[in-house]
Amino acid sequence: MTCNKLKIILIFLVIQSSSTVFAAEEYLVPKTQWGQPDLQGVWNFASNVPTERPEEFGDRQFLTQEEVLAAQRERFSIGRRREPSRTSTGVEAFYNDTMWMERARVDGVVRTSLLVYPLNGRLPELVEGITHQPGGERDVPGERPVRFAVGGIGRDGPEDRGLSERCLVGFNAGPQLMPSVYNNNVQIVQNKDYVVIFAEMVHDARLIRLTKGPELDPKVGQWSGDSRGYWDGDTLVITTKNFNGLTQSFEGYGSSKNKVLYERLTRIGPETINYEFTIDDLSTFTDKLTAIVTLAKVSSQLYEYACHEGNYGMGNMLRAARNRDATEFTDRVREMFHDR
């Protein structure tokens, strides 16, 4: 079995905890000095749960303890089965495909998928004409504007590259928060009128207004949309709309132009936040979708994600492409004169 296949198995192992969901009623949520639930701190949303539920599980939301243990044994045995004589992983040489891959721990109740609605844990049917363009490690055919985060469609200019390569948006903090292979960290900061969700990836700070105010003009689109929130008991409820349409709706599908995102954050333990989001985008999907992700408290701080300042890869990639173009042009000219 190749390393890439093993990597896929590892990423999609269904061994992420939903944590102490059933103990939420017993937990007394701490309050800020102005009386609101305290969600502040650094949180990690890494997960080994697949976005979609494997079809063999049907409508079953949770794994049995035996299945959890089997998945855990499989995870720890993967490294021992790697081919010792392999010379290439299929990943380009500029990137190490194993060192920084982040994995969630096994603990408590384990879901079979992040998606909980539709009830089968699968994506809703697509609107006719919607295609899947997830991007990837290699360039893929496509048109501008590039809406996916990773990879690109060419090297003619920076606009041919994915959004995260251009330091515009990351590939896991959206909004919505979706676990990826690394940098699954956010810091939450609050005052009476605002909540800030600061993503480690591309150091994006999303301001969620808690006070009433005029709605943003529907013609004004933003990369992260316009977020407004309120407290429903101990739960922070956020509605985000006014996306600019230059990002995808969800998981490589559609455009965010008509997307409305609903999020609910509830602290269910001293080290756990239950994060639930619903996407309503009938321009992409024929039904809404809902997913649940667990946020685990992190004792350390976030370090600066200096994206533009350290984005040497972008310049080097474009320079190399121009050098290749010049070489190819010179070769063609030489061939023309040689033929004469």
Identify the residue with better confidence: 180 or 1: 180
Q: In the 8-state DSSP scheme, what is residue 125? A: P
Q: Average pLDDT for residues 84-102, to the nearest whole number?
A: 53
Tell me the per-residue pLDDT of 94-148, one tens digit each, with 9 for 90 and over.
445 554 556 665 556 789 999 999 999 999 999 999 988 877 767 777 777 788 8
Long-range contacts of 142-150 (CB under 8 A, 24+ apart): 145/246, 147/246, 147/247, 147/248, 147/255, 148/248, 148/252
pTM listed for this prediction: 0.82
Give me the percent of the chain exceeding a pLDDT of 90.
Answer: 52
Most confident stretch, 68-72, 143-147, 253-257: 253-257
DSSP H/E element including 117:
strand 115-117
Instruction: Work out the pLDDT band at 16, boundaries 50, 70, 90.
Output: very low
Residues contacting 57, CB < 8 A, separation 6+ = 112, 113, 121
> What's the confidence (pLDDT) of residue 86?
58
Average pLDDT of the chain is: 84
